[in-house]
Amino acid sequence: MKIKQKLPLLFLTLSLSILFYIQGFSQDSVLGKIVDVNYSGEQLSKVLDDLGQQLKVDFYYKKDDVDDQLVSIQSDDRTAESILSDILETTRLGFLEYGEGSVIIIPRTVINQTLSVNYYEAREEASKASEKEENIVIGSLDELKGDGMATVTGTILDAENEEGVIGATVIVQNTDIKTITDIDGNFEVEVPAGVHFLNISYVGYEDLNLTTRVLSSGTLQLTMEKGAVILDEVTVSAQSAESAVNNTQAGVTKIDVGDIKKLPSFMGETDVVKTLLLNTGVSSSGEGATGFNVRGGDVDQNLILQDNGILLNSSHSLGFFSYFNTDFIEEVQLYKAIMPAQYGGRLSSVLDVKTKEGDFEKWHIRGGVGPVTSRLSIDGPIVKDKVSVIVGGRGSYADWILNAVENQQVRNSSIFFYDANAKISAKLGNKNTLVFSGYASEDAFTYNNAFGFDYTNYTGQVSLRSIFSNKLSSNLSLGFNDYKSSRTDFDPERGSILNNDVSFYQFKERLTYSPNSKTTLVMGLSSILYQVDPGTLEPTENSILIGRSVPQEDGLESAVFANMDYDVNYSIGISAGLRYSDFRFLGPSIVNQYVDPENPSSTQVTGQSEFGSGEVIASFGNLEPRLSMRFRLTRQSSFKTGYSRTVQYINQIFNSETPTPVSQWQLSNNYIPPTKSHNFSAGYFRNFASNNWEANAEVFYRSIDQLFDYKDFASLTANQNIETEILDGIGRSYGLELSVKKKEGVLNGNLNYTYSRSQRQIAGINKGDFYSSNFDKPHDMSFVLNYQPNRRNSVTLNFIYASGRPVTPPVGNYTLTNGLVIPVFSSRNSGRIPDYHRLDLSFTVGKSYKRDKKYTTSWTFSLYNVYARKNAYSIYFTEAPGQRVQANRLALLGTVFPSLTFNFETL
């Protein structure tokens, strides 16, 4: 019997109620106050001044408009709005409330022309700047439109030949406004009147950074010089200082690459995934655990992208290092459950990593040498201004460090990995760029000469970026991925080798259309062909095991999508999308038939059906709506809420505490339906101190109406009838995320806290009651502090605390007549391992920023696990004297790990 669950309507109702309360509170009118007045033949200016003192509000008016107006009125217990209406009724004037403490007196004819508050705000901002010396002045205040907005039409020319620069990026900093130039070098942006800082960039040209004072609509003509000024680690970003408040998308986190490099690292290797774990809503099962968990989701429920290519694993060395080499990273974004429609195929999150392209002008060499890893990358022009390349890799030599661990089993282990990246970018004229990229990695790990893992990952991509106009662009990509893994058991009698393989071919076309600065439409289609080898078990020499294998499985996942970002007005922004996904489980295959197809059992097989190559065995189609909304409450605060429906057609199979690199992947089929989830999020975002401080609070709820878990003592390895080991059910996760961040200054950093629960309800497990999932960790806190007195030196520390993950402990035992002791276990995941906490410290010194130098170097010293906490990786139970059950803690890293890394880069 399947357990059903209603959608959490209460959560949605609560979110909307909070929104209406905040909006209503912020819109209380000062003119709604009760006042008493008594005037007889008084000048209107005096009456307004008296009212202003009573109401504690400022009235703004032109002296000429009110000098000849006399007021006679007597009234008790009336609102100021009513009195003001009577006073002005016989005049040509009206009033308009502006902000929280201002009222503007202006002719009614002007008000009837729909002049908005933004008009006055824009005039005020532009007027404030009038006394300053600005680079460029555009328009005139007398020509400013009633809505306070101005359209700036510009042209970017090459300084040498005065031809238009096609595809140059124009960014209005501290806003979300950006565009690109068309075939003639023209662009158009709509901005509120005031002072704006423009950044204009294009590969092969020096960036333009200029200040403009926009008074009304007007034109702008600029020239760009060829050649680039090379500075160390200078990144021009479209992310504004107010992005946390401005962004419409709910549940999104952008990771700064500079921040990644500052953080203390394990054995000197900076790490994307370790940085993610310092953010709210992101956790892991502990040291030695592969991958990461987002808002109560499982490790395999994260879509991990590198340049549009999908990675099935994110970690080297059982989670101690990530796949991503920070020397190659340009941008990292994490979408937590509420994801735009162009992303799909996973329930919990999207980690979108974009890598750098090679320099088209000059060659660079970057690298570092550390105690357990070294890295090197080279980039530069193959054909100047036309073709560039970036290539490099990392390698480890970590066995010596394992010998320093107290645990004898760890000392008897070995570990190794390497990875390599390569990307070639070719400009095909001024409107097209062709990019070839590839990634390769291999890991080898053995533990105590008892078992070992070996896994490789190879990806290849080709993408074509095209600019059709300043409003329409395209990104077409083709990709290939092959992930192979093997596990070796070295037991002399039961030794075996388990091999798994997942490969897939991917196609994606994404069109971006931006008709104006307020609207962006992303639409397209994608398709992925999966070829999964679920497992082949081969006995080693002298092993008594019998080999077995599961036939290859094929599946085709396709989708069409459209997502629109639209700024309704200054306050309201919407990101709405719809995705339709289709999955087909394909032959060839032989499928068992069961007495009860809803609850298949290996003892109740009634027959078999055979399907030919490419024949559809099972198909699924799902609509996946997505919606995020931003309601700006003030210039520095906003409320955001979002919903997404997500569906996943490929899942990782494991019944241990955490997955391993060789845990098999299973496609949805006629007995294992896709997992499905409803995701809700709502949050309040606030900036302080000129946007240098950011604070936010978010609540989330996830209702999983289709998931599966495994029977007790399930046999999953190379099982041809895996559906007989699976139980169907539902799940839920919910929580609160709190974050405070100081972005700039000698002292900066952030404090993050997450309270979350992740639970499941599966018929046949825990008597049908909800129980904690393997990655349910109620409390998760991180603190990062960075001290940077100058550009050469920095000291960073981070502290992490997290609840211990669940375990199923024995609560007693009984003894058989033959003396065998049988443990009696509690309900599933009713206990917890000890809480996790750790302090890390790093110090970077020596980086040079002198322009005449040809290279720059730095040293980074770090301490990982400063106070040598013996954090438990797992708890296992053994029999103690007197037939008692004894709990034993296994700590993989029970000591402090110092490291010293030398970094270098040519300029």
Query: Are 210 and 263 contained in the same domain?
Result: no
Q: In this structure, what CATH number is given to the domain that contains residue 37?
A: 3.55.50.30
The CA distance from 625 to 622, in Å, is 10
CB 703 within 8 A of CB 662: no
Least confident of 207-221, 581-595, 711-725, 740-754: 711-725
168 and 272 assigned to the same domain = no
> Domain range for residue 665?
252-906
Provide the 8-state DSSP code for 226: B
pLDDT at 715 over 80: no
- For residues 217 and 271, state if they share a domain: no
Confirm if 626 and 563 have CB atoms less than 8 A apart.
yes
The per-residue pLDDT for range 384-434, each reduced to its tens digit, is: 989 999 999 998 887 776 776 666 777 778 888 899 999 999 999 888 999
CB count, 10 Å around CB of 403? 11
Position 846 pLDDT exceeds 60: yes
Distance CA 307, CA 437 (A): 8
CA distances from 485 to 170, 455, 480 (A): 46, 4, 17
Count helices and strands (H / E) in the chain. Answer: 11, 56
Same domain, 672 and 644: yes
Burial of 360 (0-12, 13-18, 19+ CB in 10 A): buried
215 and 256 in a single domain? The answer is no
Is residue 179 helix, strand or coil? strand
Residue 304 — very low, low, confident or very high, per pLDDT cuts 50/70/90? very high
Q: What is the pLDDT of residue 6?
A: 40
Give the model's confidence band at 126: pLDDT under 50 very low, under 70 low, under 90 confident, else very high. low
Mean pLDDT, rounded, of the chain: 82
Assigned token pair, 571: 């306050």
Of 690, 707, 832, 695, the residue nearest 774 (C-alpha): 832
Rank 37-51, 725-739, 835-849 by mean pLDDT and report only the highest.
Answer: 725-739
Examine residue 11 and state whether it is found in any structural domain, yes or no: no
In the predicted structure, residue 180 carries a pLDDT above the cut 50: yes
List all residues 6 or more positions away from 160 whose beta carbon is below 8 Å from its beta carbon.
226
Examine the domain organization and report whether 540 and 400 are in the same domain.
yes
Residue 27 contacts by C-beta under 8 Å, 6 or more apart in sequence? none
The residue with tokens 């004229």 is 429
Residues 131-148: tens digit of each pLDDT: 444 468 888 766 777 667
On the question of pLDDT at 228 being above 50, the answer is no
Predicted confidence band at 229 (pLDDT cuts at 50, 70, 90)?
very low
Q: Which pTM does this prediction carry?
A: 0.73
Q: What is the pLDDT of residue 352?
A: 92
* Residue 12 resides in a domain: no
The enclosing domain of 209 has a CATH number of 2.60.40.1120
Domain presence at residue 2: no
Q: How far is CA 891 from the centre of its chain?
A: 31
> Which of 214, 229, 244 is at the close of a domain?
229
**76 found inside a domain:** yes
List helix spans (H) across 208-348: 243-246, 257-262, 272-276
CB distance 731 to 348 below 8 Å? no
Residue 341 corresponds to which tokens in the numbers above? 């429609």
Which tens digits make up the pLDDT trace of 605-615?
898 999 999 99
- In this structure, of 99-103, 364-368, 757-761, the range with the lowest mean pLDDT score is 99-103
pLDDT greater at residue 557 or residue 494: 557
How many of the other CB atoms lie within 10 Å of CB of 275?
Answer: 25
Q: What's the rounded mean pLDDT across residues 660-685?
A: 90
Is 385 among the domain residues?
yes
Q: Which residue has the higher pLDDT, 272 or 383?
A: 383
Task: Classify residue 123: in a domain, yes or no.
Answer: no
Q: What is the pLDDT of residue 56?
A: 81
Which CATH number is 771's domain given?
2.40.170.20
Residues 850-890: tens digit of each pLDDT: 445 677 788 888 888 889 888 877 666 666 665 566 666 66
- Clarify whether residues 337 and 470 are in a common domain: yes
What percent of the chain stands above pLDDT 70?
84
State the Cα torsion 235-238-242-248 to the nearest 10°.
-140
Return the percentage of the chain with pLDDT > 90, whole number.
Answer: 28
Q: What confidence score (pLDDT) does residue 751 get?
A: 94
Least confident of 27-36, 349-358, 521-530: 27-36
- Say if residue 109 is in the same domain as residue 139: no
Q: Is it the case that residue 15 has pLDDT exceeding 50?
A: no
| Contact between residue 818 and residue 794 where contact means Cβ atoms under 8 Å apart | no
Same domain, 157 and 290: no
The CA-atom distances, in angstroms, between 468 and each of 97, 238, 475 are: 45, 21, 11
pLDDT digits (tens, 9 = 90+) for 305-355: 998 889 988 888 666 778 888 888 888 889 998 999 999 999 999 999 999
Residue 129: C-alpha distances to residues 125, 137, 194, 825 (Å): 7, 10, 8, 73
At 452 the pLDDT is 83
Note whether 722 and 585 are same-domain residues.
yes
Whether 791 and 647 share a structural domain: yes
d(CA 757, CA 776): 6
Whether 90 and 142 map to the same domain: the answer is no
Question: How far is 26 from 28, CA to CA, in rounded Å?
Answer: 6
Q: What is the average pLDDT across 162-185?
A: 83
Please report where in the chains the tokens 């290279």 appear, as a residue: 855
Q: Based on the structure, what is the number of domains in the chain?
A: 3
What is the C-alpha to C-alpha distance for residues 157 and 166, in angstroms, rounded to an integer?
9
The answer to whether residue 25 sits within a structural domain is: no
Q: Which pair of structure tokens corresponds to residue 283? A: 């956790």
**Domain membership flag for residue 242:** no
DSSP per position, 33-68: SEEEEEEEEEEHHHHHHHHHHHHT-EEE--HHHHTT
